Structure 1
Amino acid sequence: MTVLNNGVTGHRGNPEAAPENTLAGFASAIALGVDFLETDVHESADGVLFLCHDATTGRTCGTDLAIAETEAAELRKLNAAHSFPSERFAPIPTLGELLALVAANPHIRLSLQPKCPAVGAICAAVERAGLAGRIAFNDGNFELLMEAKERLPEALIFYDTRDVEQLESGIGEAVAAGFYGLVAHQDSLNRERVAAIAEAGLEPGVWTVNDEAAMRRFLDMGVYRFYTDCPARLLKLKEGR
């Protein structure tokens, strides 16, 4: 089966409809038809790779623990669906669990944002799962992305930029490094900068856009890749174009 390519990245899954960074949320985004899932990776005190945006668990799980200082068995007791009272208990998933879900859905790809130094362990897990050809990395840390690319040359690399200065300097850096795309914060993009990204041979992207009017505006600018918490909204909008 050919992988999808529609420019819609389910940011932490499908947070509009399901708890972020949970297997239920990722499955929901896959069912909608996104071409990429995006998630964040932290390492527990005993070396297990968990999927959570924050370094601590309070916002998403209610109980506040530092992931890097807590062993896996304790983290697995927490409810990652805490903010969705209607949802069943959902443990914080491991990277291995998500890789298994991706492996079972050959049309989907996965973008990983390492929030810990364990890039080597992350790449090793991807290789064990046989998914090197369907993995990307995204982050604003250039050195971290270079390490990921060196360890996993097949992976696509998206350089996430926060402001105009990083965007403008990052275009040349990303091209020289062989990166695939540049995904800029929405406040730093205009038509000319989107054109400059595309003319450099990079896929132009924006993060994190949830408002329909903003989606329309960036589509009109020529943006292709969107990180969004509302993938159903963006998919419907793209289908109408």
Structure 2
Amino acid sequence: MNSQPKVTSGPDIIAHRGGLWAGMSENTLEAFRAAADAGVHWMETDVHASADGVLFAAHDADLARIAGRPHSIRELPAAELDDVELIAGGRLPRLEELVEELPAVEWNIDVKAEHSIGPMIRFVHNFSVGQRIRLASFDSATLRRLRTALPGVRTSTGTTETALFALGGLPLMPDHGPVPLPPDVDALQVPRRFNGIPVVTGDFVDRAHASGLLAHVWTINDAEDMAALFALGVDAVVTDDVTIGLEVLARTPRTGE
């Protein structure tokens, strides 16, 4: 049994990169503020560290797609990144700006690269945000380092941990799979399908809950898919379409209703 407390009382949505809004770039203060104003409590973002160790909210390691510039984020100092104009409007926000400007929001933060681990650890200590975040990564080694340095901070499962948990569906296997998950894991964050094979089933969700874990599914933008997942009992869907997500959520019974 996982030792983390249950952190939701019913289904929820998580705004993927703040959501996609007309006239706004992903992963900008404006997008996250729009989602918060709409009623979203949990936001998802990825982070990369600048050359001088400042964390910026960005999915890509480089600026080509979002700003049309031939640089990686880690090549440039924070002061220069502050002035980068994004193609779809706005600027890259520092993570510290997001947590300060949106104090009621909780953050699901994907640490994308090894060089961002140290800055992430320092950030949590310097800004006392351990109770407002969940750390994520596909890489198990990254998660091990974060958990060791930041005990008590919530994390989701990495790819290997999720695969081991999936084995819990086999006969005579414990619900959590062959290896218990670390105590600071509070959520399984998974795609609905992987290589065409369903990941999120009623059994998967039931075993997650029996193991004290939340079941989060990414990235879902179709209303029927959201409704079907909530009917299975998933605790949250990660979505780009905040408006549709909130509409589906409003029609979904909360736990205990």
- Name the TM tier (shorter chain): 0.7 to 0.9
TM-score scaled to structure 2, two decimals? Answer: 0.80
Kept in 2: contact 1:194–1:222 (CA 8 A): yes
Aligned length: 230
Kept in 2: contact 1:139–1:145 (CA 8 A): yes
Match of 1:35 in 2: 41
Q: Structure 1 residue 184 and structure 2 residue 190: aligned?
A: yes
Kept in 1: contact 2:134–2:153 (CA 8 A): yes
Match of 2:122 in 1: 124
Question: Which sits farther off after the overlay, 23-32 or 166-175?
Answer: 166-175
Secondary structure of 2:212's partner? coil
What 5-or-longer segments of structure 1 have no aligned partner?
Answer: 84-88
In structure 2, distance between residues paired with 1:181 and 1:205: 7
Q: Structure 1 residue 115 and structure 2 residue 120: aligned?
A: no
Superposition pairs for residues 212-227 of structure 1, below 5 Å? 212-227=223-238
Q: In the superposition, relative to structure 1, how do residues 164 and 181 fare at CA in structure 2: closer, same or farther (>3 Å)?
A: closer
Secondary structure of 2:157's partner? strand
Q: Which has the higher helix share?
A: 1
Match of 2:146 in 1: 148
Query: C-alpha root-mean-square deviation of aligned residues, in Å?
Result: 2.5
Give, in angstroms, the shift of residue 43 of structure 1.
Answer: 1.2
In structure 2, distance between residues paired with 1:62 and 1:175: 44
In structure 2, distance between residues paired with 1:31 and 1:55: 29
Secondary structure of 1:177's partner? coil
Q: In the superposition, relative to structure 1, how do residues 227 and 24 fare at CA in structure 2: closer, same or farther (>3 Å)?
A: same
In structure 2, distance between residues paired with 1:169 and 1:176: 13
Q: Structure 1 residue 12 and structure 2 residue 22: aligned?
A: no
In structure 1, distance between residues paired with 2:233 and 2:153: 24
Aligned sequence identity (%): 29
Secondary structure of 1:133's partner? helix
In structure 2, distance between residues paired with 1:162 and 1:234: 29
Q: Structure 1 residue 193 and structure 2 residue 204: aligned?
A: yes
In structure 2, distance between residues paired with 1:150 and 1:69: 28
Q: In the superposition, relative to structure 1, how do residues 46 and 35 fare at CA in structure 2: closer, same or farther (>3 Å)?
A: same
Q: Structure 1 residue 203 and structure 2 residue 214: aligned?
A: yes
The one of 221, 239, 242 equivalent to 1:228 is 239
What 5-or-longer segments of structure 2 have no aligned partner?
Answer: 1-6, 169-175, 194-198, 253-257
Secondary structure of 1:180's partner? strand
Give, in angstroms, the shift of residue 173 of structure 1.
Answer: 7.5
Give, in angstroms, the shift of residue 126 of structure 1.
Answer: 2.3
Kept in 1: contact 2:164–2:179 (CA 8 A): no
Report the residue type matching 2:40 in the other structure.
Answer: V
TM-score scaled to structure 1, two decimals? Answer: 0.85
Give, in angstroms, the shift of residue 193 of structure 1.
Answer: 1.8
Structure label with greater radius of gyration: 2
Q: In the superposition, relative to structure 1, how do residues 61 and 210 fare at CA in structure 2: closer, same or farther (>3 Å)?
A: same
Question: Which sits farther off after the overlay, 217-226 or 171-180?
Answer: 171-180
In structure 1, distance between residues paired with 2:21 and 2:46: 17
The one of 136, 139, 156 equivalent to 1:138 is 136
The one of 65, 68, 84 equivalent to 2:71 is 65
Kept in 1: contact 2:140–2:161 (CA 8 A): no
Give, in angstroms, the shift of residue 203 of structure 1.
Answer: 0.5
In structure 1, distance between residues paired with 2:40 and 2:18: 9
Match of 1:168 in 2: 166
Question: Which sits farther off after the overlay, 143-152 or 197-206?
Answer: 143-152
Q: In the superposition, relative to structure 1, how do residues 189 and 54 fare at CA in structure 2: closer, same or farther (>3 Å)?
A: same
